[in-house]
Structure 1
């Protein structure tokens, strides 16, 4: 396993990361909401990149995992800036961004902001525009309570406490980063993996993302029994194979 390091960026909190410096295009993994860089998908991709001689970065957003800061004070825009900071300071050359859930949304935002740095995208249960859309589906009385209290709870089997607490200001700020209302000026190859048993982000969201992308090189890969996390053995094999195929395609393209 690569060693833990920290990206210092005063006055902002330090970002914790693991990095392999090797051949490009490399891979940058973007985790989901309240997840860390030590999940099964990140580690499986690190192992693949090490064996393939490819660069790789996994990191924790501000206030998450081993990074400094308090996640309760963070907005989606802060985590988008974390991704851009990692791209600008911890990578050289073209990268494949692999984003899980919220990380899939952030990979789209990063690609729009740094098109010259992004060679390809692989989304896993891409949660584009998720927070405000999910909030609007809550019963009116819960939405009113969230506005009054400044936060609300969302039941989740993926949290040790059984729920996630989400700040109302976080939801409202996330609306500034919506991407599905118009064409996404992203021209690189994109692969969108989604489990059809996902009970948090419907697989139809990946179809919507594909429809909005300017790129013609877009594949949607539906895994019938896959859940939201897509972290089981077969899920990880699918992820690694998808990233490997995209890397091969990009390498062959560069050789032509």
Structure 2
């Protein structure tokens, strides 16, 4: 485990010897230090005082590689539908282009029209890379009943997109719940998934949050069959989650054992995330078997990570992985 620390963000990088990540953080916290400074030509530049050079390179992209996605994150792309026998049709939008392609996997009850999804689309369009964004079953324009949806069914949605729509190697970008699902996809399709980018990765999140409730509350939820989970992102102030969904989600938990994913992984997390603690990304980095894992923490970012600087970091991270994969291929 290595650290990259600044007043605005911290960068944790694990290579081959990275066991016991969370426990070692205090011991290596001063191994590398960086200061982030505004830059006139770039939105951010990194000045490092240590051995980690990857992030400074990532944040100092060439001018011609910096798209105009922040000024115009929306362009017209027609909605298409993926027909699946005995499963709900999935709404999606796709840009055709070169490999590796990018697939955005949204968060819980989020659709494909969010800030991150649209920004990545503009970025891919500017570079000519293939890109897919979609709605889960029961969400947005896709068919299906949300009350009948489960983590397992949404996992199948992701695999359907990869199997039936994506061509060639893919970089998966997962937000919150999507970060959990992208790992399942990488495990199921190791030949096609060549890199992962998680944003506030909610690995095992639904189950973890439920298990943290008082015993009396859990018994009441089991009896009533519904968990009114508080959320500031819901218009009602709560998400009404079926108890059966929670029990089903237990079958998809990954943190209890080594996670068999070997591709490059980048995990971005806001330290002010009050939904999924940033320590979750550190846990994921510790459990995954890949030796190419970076955790990048933004000190003042929340769960959604949708501010301008957050989106810039996300896009630059994807760009850096594209460069890395191109170098490996060639």
The one of 86, 90, 94 equivalent to 1:19 is 94
Partner of 1:105: 180
Gaps of 5+ in 1: none
The residue correspondences of 1:171-250 to structure 2 (distance < 5 A) are: 171-250=246-325
Gaps of 5+ in 2: 1-75
Partner of 1:30: 105
The answer to which of 2-11 and 117-126 deviates more is 2-11
Distance in structure 2 (CA, Å) of the matches to 1:43 and 1:99: 14
Q: CA offset at residue 42 of structure 1?
A: 0.3
The one of 154, 179, 192 equivalent to 2:229 is 154
Distance in structure 1 (CA, Å) of the matches to 2:303 and 2:166: 29
Q: Which runs of 4+ in 1 moved over 4 A?
A: none
Q: Secondary structure at the match of 2:197?
A: strand
Distance in structure 1 (CA, Å) of the matches to 2:257 and 2:211: 20
Q: Secondary structure at the match of 2:91?
A: strand
Distance in structure 2 (CA, Å) of the matches to 1:119 and 1:132: 28
Q: CA offset at residue 165 of structure 1?
A: 0.9
Q: Secondary structure at the match of 1:126?
A: coil
Q: CA offset at residue 140 of structure 1?
A: 2.0
Q: CA offset at residue 235 of structure 1?
A: 0.8
Aligned length: 255
CA RMSD after TM alignment: 0.7
TM norm structure 1: 0.98
Partner of 1:96: 171
